[in-house]
Structure 1
Amino acid sequence: MATPSATASAYGARDHARAQEGGEVEAMPTVPASDWPTPPVGVAAEDVVWAETVAGGGYTHKVLARGTELRLTDVTGDACAHLLLHAAGRPWERLNVADTVKVLWNAYLGEGHLLLSDQGRVLASVVEDTSGRHDALTGTSTLVRNTARYGDGTPQSASPAGRELFKLAALKNGLTPRDLPPSVSFFQGVRIADDGTTRFTGSAGPGTTVTLRAEQDVTVLVANVPHPLDPRPEYTCGPLQVLAYRARPTAPVDALWNATPEARRAFLNTVDHLTARGLA
């Protein structure tokens, strides 16, 4: 750390700032993303478009092209990736958790699940999952809850709430709090017990991954914060690895397209919309 005298002038501050170039910390984006040292098997380095490690209590965001695959990795077993999706440039079409659950007759996210908008269209599909511990029912943490539980929930605190971080990510994409619907979360699961109560199942352990495929151009918002039902008294959240790379959207010949009548209709709705706009 520089001494106060070293940065007392504009020149000193400039020299100190420039000396940081090339330095790395544990959680930061890799720019350009193609410099990420370990792309997924079969993915060329030049096809990696987003590479970042998000610290616990951090957030990130990116606009991804249709067909891009997004791989999330729970590095230590303590990440919880709360996720929102918006159709890029059309924020009124966004993730609808209720339709994601009810249209597909399944409350538990996993491989083969589709993340739907309220237009009956697919925003993203889950193409791989080694965790199985996810949640489409509870949503993320709030300022009031975190303040009551940890003493603070503001974005700059040691225990930021997911909703507050989503507000920041939204702002950087021209969105407002009214554009933030309930979110889904990955890597910290819940199940509904026979008596109707929500049971927290926690993590499947370190190194598990979830891969999503963008079926439209989408704005992705991610808040990596503890699950609201996590019983641990301390604010506990580990790093989340985020990688995105060029691939292709789901096609009619793919098993996922025809997995269920509901899936087939959702994909048809999506392609019909994109075709009318000259995008498919």
Structure 2
Amino acid sequence: MTHTLETTETAVGTATTAGARAHARSQHARTANTMIHVPAVSAPERLTARLDARAREAVTWAESLAFGRYTHIELARGTRIRLTDTDGDACVHAVLFRGGSHHERINVADTVKVPWQAYLGQGHPLLSDAGRLMATVVADSSGRHDALTGTTNRAGNEAKYGAGSAHSASPAGRELLTLGALKHGISQRELPPSVSFFKGITVDPGGGIRFDGSAGAGTGVELLLHMDLVLVLANTAHPLDPRPTFTGSAVDIVAWQAPQDLWALAAGELGLKPGPEQLLALQNTEHDHKARTSA
């Protein structure tokens, strides 16, 4: 089902404490079915249905993120995370920071340049500004992603939808990602350009960028994390979405511990063949990890 956000601020006044409480509860009711942090052991069946028994026992995070909302979490090296476009109209903008060393963050330019590939897909590395491998796209049934156009900003959303602040009916991606990063002590100045999943683009021979939309309901993408990471996600409109209304759907998120996949990827046992540039970035990550963890 597709959701179009509507503001309730005019219906419920916030000038008094009672009004503010009523407004907050109405907002919660509106998103309670789609934005749920749950203990891993009680994750809804639909979030873990595609996992094997071993992965189910290792689940560390499960959430359904509503359209127009953001989430953030710090995840350990060796975590595998799956995003599923449940109804075919999600657009998830992502930024990554190194856990405990937030100055190291995703570098979108290198993420495109180093693997000689502008389109994100299975096997694609997400690289940091220190030349290290932060995460790898290890599975992808969507093929509609974007590492070129970034996310929406407040001015653009105000011009297109009439509002763009984080708490408005049409929040911009930059505003939502800023809030998520701030929860980890990361300022707006430190927020890098983002990549996005489930809404694709194509660059034509003349250099123009065409919006391709989504691949449909039920498609997914999986990332394997090569270092401890702070992950901030915003499910909001794509900057090139031509629709005049702020419309989208939820994304399901589940993460589980899979450290064995780190070695399987390096050994070519995940059905992927990392290129020499990606292998060098992986070596940089592994050398750094060994230096930080050795006695």
Tell me the amino acid that sits aligned with residue 71 of structure 1: R
What is residue 7 of structure 1 aligned with on the other side? none
Structure 2: distance between partners of 1:279 and 1:63: 22
1:255/1:121 Cα in 2 relative to 1: closer, same or farther (>3 Å)?
A: farther
Find the partner of 1:59 among 58, 70, 79.
70
The equivalent of 1:6 in structure 2 is: none
Which 4+ residue blocks in structure 1 deviate beyond 4 angstroms? 255-258
1:177 to 2:191 alignment: no
State the 1:29 CA deviation: 2.4
Consecutive unaligned residues of structure 2, counting only runs of 5 or more, are 1-17
CA distance in 1 between partners of 2:122 and 2:154 (Å): 32
- How far off is 1:167 after superposition? 1.0
Q: Residues 258 and 264 of structure 1 are in contact (CA less than 8 Å); yes or no, is this contact kept in structure 2?
A: no
Output the CA distance in 2 between the equivalents of 1:147 and 1:62: 28
Work out the percentage of aligned pairs sharing the same amino acid: 51
In structure 2, the partner of 1:82 is 93
- 1:139 corresponds to which of 128, 134, 150: 150
**Contact 1:61/1:220 (CA < 8 Å) preserved in 2?**
yes
Deviations 1:18-74 (A, max 9, x none): xx9xxx931122421221133233144331111111111000011000010110010
Whether the 8 Å contact between 1:34 and 1:47 is mirrored in structure 2 is no
Higher helix share: 2
AA partner of residue 87 (structure 1) = R
When the two structures are superposed, what TM-score results if normalisation uses the length of structure 2?
A: 0.84
Residue 102 (str. 1) matches residue 117 (str. 2): no
Distance 1:246 1:29 in 2: 20
Amino acid corresponding to residue 216 of structure 1 in structure 2? M
Of residues 27, 47, 63, the one that matches 2:34 is 27
TM value normalised by structure 1: 0.89
In structure 1, the gaps of 5 or more residues are 1-9
For 1:126, the equivalent position in structure 2 comes to 137
For 1:154 and 1:272, how far apart are their aligned partners in 2?
Answer: 42
Look up the match of 1:37: 44
Task: Count matched residues.
Answer: 263
Residues 191-224 of structure 1, C-alpha deviations (whole Å, 9 max, x = no match) = 1001110000000000000000110000000000
Residue 268 of structure 2: which of 250, 254, 269 is its match?
254
Aligned to 1:269: 284
Q: CA RMSD in A?
A: 2.2
